[in-house]
């Protein structure tokens, strides 16, 4: 009896040990980065579509007489984003270097049009309407800044030990112009994300750390001035620091307090396991923007702590994959673009989640891949497509992918033999 138990225990330990070794071997595969990027982003977009449908049904019915209008629009943008991701993923590194300055110039040109023909939304003027389609040029400018900035820093790699060469032209004038045009539209949240992109790329380029202290000090002073010169921003900061001032029924409550308060109510109602998918109470007119900036609150209410931790874990996994891609390549341009895209997506996610849970004042940026919004979704998927193209360009990954059957060959394998013979005879 005891010998059987001992042999059974040793067999289970061997099987668990072999399975662990199998998992480790698969993680060491040259295809790991490629598949993890596809998997993580695919899960985030899928969860986002489900939650946009759930969070927008009431508002969509009220505004459009259909519960599915906002969801179908987001599904359309997800489909466009999937096509853009597929196109981006199959381009070469040489292609991205070739179009980088063009992307930067295009992003800046579109931003320059915002003060002239842009449309405002919730105090920010950051949209351009082309017929029935709205475009947010700042999202396009992020891609342009990352690609164009990476090319500039790559060409000046040997000179980055000098402060002047580190600043000119990446910081001044490129980043300053992009930030200035975004701030003309009063979009402080997007400006902070763009500043984080620039800081991350300079850090990855090897700029000396003591210069960052000076730069961050100057940046903090600018942010303080921008906050102090806006009564709305100062009120948001004051409410964030002193939430007890939010008395229900007051003008301040309806103007500023309502959104962050009900966002936290949603998270509290969700508890550990949530109230159930589709069963949110806050989306019934209590929480504004439940399918956009505050969709994380609806996730917490309907799916509970488990749902919110799943989102956080997926973004953490994205960070690990970005670090893995950065470590696998020696191409300076690829490294800088990787850091730029990761800084963009991860900092924006942290700002959004921090605003919802009360760790930051409400700044107003969407949760990447999850929140409703066409420009944000399509451009972030293009950014991920660029990273996938870098992963595919690694020699070991390219060799492994070349041995895999293509979709066309798999489709041919599914064709019945009699049908295939008839086509051959004809």
pLDDT score recorded for residue 193? 95
Residue 166 has pLDDT above 80, yes or no: yes
Q: How confident is the model at residue 146 (pLDDT cuts 50, 70, 90)?
A: very high
- Among 216, 218, 223, 375, smallest CA distance to 292 is for 375
Distance CA 36, CA 320 (A): 10
Q: How much is the average pLDDT of 161-169? A: 89
Asked, for residue 26, whether it belongs to a domain, the answer is no
Distance CA 124, CA 189 (A): 10
367 vs 425 pLDDT, higher one: 367
Give yes or no for residue 366 having a pLDDT over 90.
yes
Q: Report how far residue 287's alpha carbon sits from residue 185's, in angstroms, rounded to the nearest whole number.
A: 25
The boundaries of the domain holding residue 131 are 32-258+290-299+316-394
251 contacts: CB under 8 Å, gap ≥ 6: none
What mean pLDDT is predicted for residues 96-110? 96
Give bridge partners of residue 178 from the DSSP assignment: none
Note whether 282 and 266 are within 8 A (CB): yes
- pLDDT for 256 equals 73
- Domain membership of residue 327 (yes or no) is yes
Instruction: Give 12-22 pLDDT, tens digit per residue.
Output: 555 555 555 55
Q: Could you tell me if residue 412 is inside a domain? A: no
Instruction: Report the chain's mean pLDDT, rounded to a whole number.
Output: 86
Task: Place 398 in a pLDDT band, splitting at 50, 70 and 90.
Answer: confident
Is residue 216 predicted with pLDDT exceeding 90? Answer: no
pLDDT band, residue 24 (cuts 50/70/90): very low
For residue 37, being part of any structural domain is answered with yes
pLDDT digits (tens, 9 = 90+) for 108-134: 999 999 888 887 766 677 888 877 778
- Confidence check: pLDDT of 37 > 80: yes
Secondary structure of residue 275 in the 3-state scheme: coil
Residue 208 has pLDDT above 90, yes or no: no
Residue 30 pLDDT greater than 90, yes or no: no
Per residue in 77-88, pLDDT tens? Answer: 999 999 999 999
Q: What is the pLDDT of residue 117?
A: 84
* pLDDT for position 234: 79
pLDDT class for 379, splitting at 50, 70, 90? very high
* Residue pLDDT, tens place only, 315-365: 999 999 999 999 999 999 999 999 999 999 999 999 999 999 989 988 889
For the ranges 7-11, 224-228, 274-278, the one whose mean pLDDT is highest: 274-278
H or E stretch including 120? Answer: strand 119-121
Q: Is the pLDDT of residue 425 over 70?
A: no
Q: Hey, which of 1-10, 233-242, 276-285 has the most confident mean pLDDT?
A: 276-285
How many separate domains does the chain show?
Answer: 1
200 vs 216: CA distance, rounded Å: 12
Please name every residue paired with 121 in a beta bridge, in sequence order, or none if there are none.
124
Q: Say how many C-beta atoms besides its own lie within 10 A of residue 336's C-beta.
A: 26
SS3 of 240, please? helix
Report yes or no on 36 lying in a domain.
yes
Q: How far apart are the first and last CA of the chain?
A: 70
Q: What residues form DSSP beta bridges with 8?
A: none
Around 201, how many Cα atoms within 13 Å sit in the side-chain half-sphere? Answer: 33
Q: Which residue has tokens 């008395």?
A: 247
In the sheet where 119-121 sits, what is the strand order?
119-121, 124-130, 133-135
DSSP 8-state code for residue 367: P
At residue 426, does pLDDT exceed 50? Answer: no
Query: Does any domain span residue 305?
Result: no
258 vs 153, which has greater pLDDT? Answer: 153
Residue 49 has pLDDT above 50, yes or no: yes
Q: Is residue 282 part of a domain?
A: no
- Would residue 408 count as lying in a domain? no
pLDDT over threshold 60, residue 50 = yes
Residue with tokens 């309907």: 302
Identify the CA nearest to 45 among candidates 389, 385, 403, 325: 385
- DSSP letter at 394 equals S
134 membership: H or E segment, kind and range: strand 133-135
């Amino acid at each position: 009896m005891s010998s059987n138990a001992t042999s059974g225990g040793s067999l289970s330990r061997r099987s668990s040990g072999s399975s662990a070794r199998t998992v480790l071997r698969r993680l060491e595969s040259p295809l790991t980065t490629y598949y993890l990027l596809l998997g993580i982003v695919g899960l985030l977009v899928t969860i986002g579509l489900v939650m946009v449908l759930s969070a927008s049904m009431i508002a969509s019915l009220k505004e459009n007489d259909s519960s599915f209008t906002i969801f179908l629009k987001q599904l359309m943008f997800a489909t466009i984003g999937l096509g853009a991701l597929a196109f981006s993923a199959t381009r070469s590194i040489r292609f991205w270097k070739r179009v980088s300055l063009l992307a930067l110039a295009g992003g800046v040109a579109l931003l320059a049009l915002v003060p002239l023909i842009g449309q405002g939304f919730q105090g920010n003027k950051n949209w351009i309407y082309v017929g029935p389609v709205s475009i947010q040029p700042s999202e396009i400018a992020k891609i342009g800044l990352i690609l164009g900035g990476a090319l500039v820093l790559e060409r000046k790699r040997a000179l980055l030990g000098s402060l002047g060469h580190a600043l000119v032209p990446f910081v001044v004038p490129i980043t300053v112009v992009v930030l200035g045009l975004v701030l003309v539209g009063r979009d402080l949240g997007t400006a902070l994300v763009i500043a984080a992109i620039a800081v991350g790329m300079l850090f990855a380029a090897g700029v000396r750390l003591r210069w960052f202290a000076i730069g961050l000090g100057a940046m903090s002073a600018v942010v303080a001035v921008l906050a102090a010169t806006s009564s709305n921003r100062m009120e948001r900061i004051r409410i964030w620091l002193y939430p007890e001032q939010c008395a229900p029924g007051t003008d301040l409550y309806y103007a500023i307090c309502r959104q962050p308060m009900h966002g936290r109510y949603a998270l509290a109602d969700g508890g550990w396991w949530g109230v159930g998918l589709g069963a949110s109470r806050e989306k019934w007119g209590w929480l504004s923007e439940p399918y956009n900036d505050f969709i994380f609150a609806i996730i917490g209410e309907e799916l509970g702590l488990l749902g919110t931790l799943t989102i956080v874990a997926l973004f953490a996994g994205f960070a690990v994959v970005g670090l893995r891609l950065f470590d696998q390549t020696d191409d300076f341009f690829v490294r800088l673009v990787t850091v730029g895209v990761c800084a963009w997506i991860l900092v924006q996610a942290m700002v959004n989640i921090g605003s919802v849970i009360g760790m930051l004042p409400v700044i107003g940026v969407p949760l990447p891949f999850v929140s409703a919004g066409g420009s944000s979704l399509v451009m972030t998927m293009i950014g991920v497509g660029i990273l996938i193209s870098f992963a595919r360009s690694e020699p070991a990954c390219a060799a492994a992918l070349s041995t895999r059957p293509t979709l066309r060959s798999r489709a041919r394998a599914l064709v019945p033999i009699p049908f295939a013979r008839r086509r051959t005879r004809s």
